Amino acid sequence: MLFGNSAEVMGSSKNPRLRILAVSSKERMKQLPDIPTVSEFLPNFEMTAWQGTLAPVKTPRAIIDIVSNAIQELSKDPKVIETLGSYGVDALTTTPEQMAAMIKGEVPVYTEAVKAAGLTKPIN
């Protein structure tokens, strides 16, 4: 049994010896429309993976804007969309402020998960 992200398991989705039971996103994946979400069995469950580009705190805003704008443009490229889609990844982008807010919003979720798991120090 594996609980992994879509990029890890999409290549195995056509293997007849393996079976994807559910996806943890809020909605069914367009790449796997027949696979239910966990929340269809366990209401309000949602866990999604995301990737982001971060910079040191004192990076000048002009540099942040250049990088952000380049990523925004890249995410609109049909080849990028197609390639990411083949891995079950949607080419979504946010502003730097939205990304910061998302990270800040997830800290309490993972703090609670660490406490619930009884972890008091990092696992090596």
Shared-domain flag, residues 28 and 63: no
Q: How many residues does the chain have?
A: 124
> Which pLDDT score is estimated for 2?
74
Reported pTM:
0.69
The whole-angstrom separation of Cα 111 and Cα 119 is 10
Segments of the chain scoring below 70 in pLDDT: 121-124
> Which pLDDT score is estimated for 124?
61
Give residue-wise pLDDT tens across range 70-103.
999 999 999 999 998 888 888 889 999 999 999 9
Shared-domain flag, residues 36 and 58: no
The whole-angstrom separation of Cα 124 and Cα 115 is 17
Domain encompassing residue 60: 50-124
Structural domains of the chain, count = 2
End-to-end CA distance of the chain: 22
The whole-angstrom separation of Cα 39 and Cα 35 is 12
